[in-house]
Structure formats: C-alpha cells, structure tokens
Amino acid sequence: MGFGDLVCQGLEQQTTEASPSSTTKQWSWNADRSRIMTTTGFFISAPWSHLQHQLLERFVPGTVGSAVAKKVALSMAMAPISISLLFTSVLVLQGESEKVVDKLSKDVLPMWLVGSTFMPIVLGVNFRYVPVRHRPLVAALYGSVWSVYSAYMANKKEEEEEPVLLAVRRFTTAASIT
C-alpha cells in the first residue's frame, strides 16, 4: 500500500499542476501519509487478505467453475469489510477517528462499485489458476494497482468529489434518458 500511495501522491500532484489555476511547483512527498498507508497494508489489509483467502478455500474448496463463482461472490460480499478496515485504520492513524462514520457512509459504496467493475475477473483468475498458498501474493500484485486508487479514496478530503463516481452518475443518467 505504501508504493501505491507514493504513485497516488505523484498522480495527485501531477493532476493539480495540470490545472489552469495552479502554479508549477516541485513534487513533494508526504512521508507521513505513506507511512500510514504502509502500516495499514502491513498490519490490517495483508492479514485480512490472507485470512480471507484461507477461509474461502476452507469453506468453498476447489477450482471448478461453481466453487470459483462462489468464492468470487463471497469476496465481493466481504469487500465492504476490507474497505471499511482500510478507511478506519487510516483515519485512526491520522488522529481523525471522529471522521470514521462519515467516511464509511460516504465512500465505502463508491469504492466497492469501482472495484466490482474489474475485481470479479481478477478474483476468478486467481481462484481458478493460482495455488492457495500463492493467492495472497498474486492478490498483492494486482492489488498494487488497486492500492493507488485505495490511497486516493482513503486520503481524499470530504469536499473532493470522487471522479469515478461522477462518471458512473453521468453514465446512469444518460442511460436512463435513452
């Protein structure tokens, strides 16, 4: 998660510098933010992911289609827990535990919706073709891309509108008009 946060910070600053009203400045790294994301990944997200993979294999063993489909469905059903653990951990480590309930109510569903667009495919491949002992590692590899978005969502301020959610809203509005 630390690497994902580093990439996220670079993208955030690049986006800010590209806006017409900004003045170009040298890139700066928020080490505290990366430390918090690394700590969360190491002590919260990674153990939870490992436990989740072990439990799924214990209760839904196998790599046939029906077992894979059940594991994917259960993983997606448990994703809000993962997202909530991430947000809660980050806010507590930032010393802003009073914002946890508001953050969860505003951002868990949008993040889950974004994840549900590609995670079922990634999970299906992982559950079907990767041995159980390597699944958390493989999940961490594709999770490194997801961690960029996770870092953004975990650290975005209340007043920022989530661009992916805006795109989803525009799409659903356009689809309902036609």
Residues 152/12, Cβ–Cβ less than 8 Å: yes
Q: What is the pLDDT of residue 18?
A: 57
Nearest Cα neighbor of 82 from 122, 116, 58 is: 116
Q: What is the pLDDT of residue 121?
A: 93
pLDDT tens digits for range 118-164 = 899 999 999 999 998 888 788 888 888 888 889 988 998 766 655 55
Q: What is the pLDDT of residue 82?
A: 95
Instruction: Report the share of the chain in percent with pLDDT over 70.
Output: 82
Q: What is the pLDDT of residue 146?
A: 87
* Cβ neighbours of residue 124 closer than 8 Å, sequence gap 6 or more: 68, 69, 72
Mean pLDDT along residues 61-89: 97
Between 98 and 167, whose confidence is greater?
98
Quickly list DSSP for 80-92.
HHHHHHHHHHHHH
Question: Is the model's pLDDT at 44 over the cut of 60?
Answer: yes
Q: How far apart are CA 174 and CA 178, in angstroms?
A: 7
Q: Is 64 helix (H, G, I), strand (E, B) or coil?
A: coil
Mean pLDDT along residues 95-118: 94
Question: Is the model's pLDDT at 108 over the cut of 90?
Answer: yes
Q: What is the pLDDT of residue 73?
A: 98
As a whole number, the mean pLDDT across the chain is 86
Q: What is the pLDDT of residue 157?
A: 78
Rounded to two decimals, what is the model's pTM? 0.81
Q: What is the pLDDT of residue 130?
A: 94
Nearest Cα neighbor of 156 from 92, 79, 87, 101 is: 87
Mean pLDDT along residues 32-46: 95
The alpha helices in the chain, defined as continuous H runs, are 2-18, 31-40, 46-59, 65-93, 100-115, 119-129, 135-155, 163-177
Q: What is the pLDDT of residue 148?
A: 87
Residue spans of the domains in the chain: they are 2-177
